[in-house]
Amino acid sequence: MKQNSASHLVFSSEPFTLIYMADEKPAPKPPPKQAAPQAAGAKPPPKQVAVQQKPAVQQAAAQTRVTLSKPKVKIGGGILAQMKAGKESSLENIEERVAGIEGFDEVKMPELFKTFYSTLAPKMTLPRTSYTILKAFANIDVTTEKVAGCLKLNQYYGSQFFKNIASVQKREELPTAEGAVLLLGMQNSRNFIIGMQMLRTVTGAHPEWTKEGKLKTAPNELIKCALKVEEVLAGDKSSYSDTAYAAGVMFDILTLIAMNTVEDKKKISAYIDTVFTHSLLAAKIGKELARNMPDFSFTKYIFAACLIHDIGKVMLAIMNPQYYQYVEEVGKKGLPRIIRHYAEGKQYGVNHALLGGLACNFYKIFKPIDKAILYHHEPYLLRTANKGMFQLASMVCLATNMATSFKKVDRGDDPVLLQWKGPEIRDFRIDNRAIISATQKAV
């Protein structure tokens, strides 16, 4: 677990744990009790100004991790370990004393947060085989052997894969794993594994086969968003296309969850479509913005980060059907983006950025960019903590602002430029020419 110096509120992928990290500076050493004997003729030492000691609780707080865990509050190990070692007797009963502060034990985990951990997070945790194959494709030198290796890694999907091969080839003898991958094609083999494993993880069901030995649900039917992203980036040989595919898969997983859990399927699928369309435009814009930024270090993730920046909205809609109504009403009021974001957190106990950041941790592929998703509405919080992440979060913020009120711009004095570069990215240096160029090339 890492400390986030920006806000001090950090989260870990350990279920049910929100952690507040207090400054962990060591407490100042007490002055020596007795002055050293004074040498003859030496000047008397200057009078010590009495420094008032901070109360014990305050000192302890400066060294303590306070772990807010489900649903009560308890004090983390650092201070308790010291107390056990008998090093700080003044800290006795610190846990009871802190928990005794009025209102302190009323910190409760929001309901939607619990629902996220119990229902969505396990399904968004990328299984090993899917993770391995997505990682393999993120490498430019992905080989047939690597893909075949994934099949050998998991015999269950290996056998399903060969069953599928048997239905498409006429020969009686089955090929080797490498031969089977060649026969189906590298991308189709990846799609098969991702689609089948997604079905199993989300629904718990085994794939169904027709009497003729064909799959009832073709894997490509399950990964429409990932395939759409691949189609958009076809011919683009940049390093971001595979992380972009993985970002599309995130939408596909949530779509499958929604289709299996949400009552009003028409409404939820329309909402997912709305978020996906907005995010895809933001991703195209982000990709173009990054091209004009030579010192940008997250090029590999820019498309993916923009694509999944609002994935938490889909999660909120799946967990709480009233979320659509909330979005509609807030939209009608024409409130500024930052106020809408604040209101969402107040209304639901969590906001979509926090859920999105958490999902990145479970999904593993996007763990390196979780903070950019978490702070895509407040990128300034990352400014001093992490320059690269600040740039990525700012770029996502700018791209989503542009996607929300998109238009092609050809003049540097167009007022929309000021509107897009809102106060939240005031410290992010980007030339207007880069923004103008992005509007020309993104669509």
Contacts with Fe ion, residue ranges (CB under 5 A)? 310, 400
Contact 255, 318 (CB under 8 A): no
Phi-psi region of 146 (alpha: psi -120 to 50; beta: other; left: phi over 0): alpha
Minimum CB separation from Fe ion for residue 278, in Å?
Answer: 6
CA 55 to mean position of chain CA atoms: 39
Minimum CB separation from Fe ion for residue 302, in Å?
Answer: 15
Q: Residue 131 belongs to what H/E stretch?
A: helix 128-137
Minimum CB separation from Fe ion for residue 178, in Å?
Answer: 43
Contact 34, 45 (CB under 8 A): no
Minimum CB separation from Fe ion for residue 409, in Å?
Answer: 19
Q: Which is nearer to Fe ion, 164 or 400 (CB)?
A: 400
Minimum CB separation from Fe ion for residue 237, in Å?
Answer: 28
Q: Which is nearer to Fe ion, 197 or 400 (CB)?
A: 400
Q: Which is nearer to Fe ion, 249 or 402 (CB)?
A: 402
Contact 280, 309 (CB under 8 A): no
Our CA dihedral for 301, 304, 307, 312, rounded to 10 degrees, sits at: -90
Q: Which is nearer to Fe ion, 154 or 351 (CB)?
A: 351
For residue 318, list its beta bridge partners.
Answer: none
Q: Which is nearer to Fe ion, 136 or 389 (CB)?
A: 389
Q: Which is nearer to Fe ion, 176 or 277 (CB)?
A: 277
Minimum CB separation from Fe ion for residue 312, in Å?
Answer: 7
- On the CB side of 115, CA atoms within 13 Å amount to 13
Give which of 248, 239, 287 is closest to 137, Cα–Cα.
239
Q: Which residue is nearest to Fe ion (CB)?
A: 400
Q: Which is nearer to Fe ion, 158 or 379 (CB)?
A: 379
Reduced to 3 states (helix: H, G, I; strand: E, B; else coil), residue 274 is: helix
Minimum CB separation from Fe ion for residue 121, in Å?
Answer: 20
Contact 379, 357 (CB under 8 A): no
Q: What share of the chain is helix, strand, coil (3-state, %, to 5)?
A: 60, 5, 35
> What's the Cα-to-Cα distance from 240 to each of 62, 70, 211, 284, 380, rounded to whole Å?
43, 38, 41, 11, 25
Burial grade of 48 (CB within 10 A; 0-12, 13-18, 19 or more)? exposed
Q: Which is nearer to Fe ion, 196 or 272 (CB)?
A: 272
Minimum CB separation from Fe ion for residue 377, in Å?
Answer: 6
Q: Which is nearer to Fe ion, 161 or 366 (CB)?
A: 366
Minimum CB separation from Fe ion for residue 7, in Å?
Answer: 17
Minimum CB separation from Fe ion for residue 175, in Å?
Answer: 46
Q: Residue 395 belongs to what H/E stretch?
A: helix 387-404
Minimum CB separation from Fe ion for residue 352, in Å?
Answer: 6
Q: Which is nearer to Fe ion, 201 or 391 (CB)?
A: 391
Give which of 84, 39, 91 is closest to 61, Cα–Cα.
91
Residues of 298-320 as b/e, b for ≥16 C-beta within 10 angstroms? bebbbbbbbbbbbbbbbbbbbbb
Q: Which is nearer to Fe ion, 310 or 370 (CB)?
A: 310
Cβ contacts of residue 246 below 8 Å, gap of 6+? 134, 138, 226, 304, 363, 365, 366
CA separation for the pair 401, 398 (Å, rounded): 5
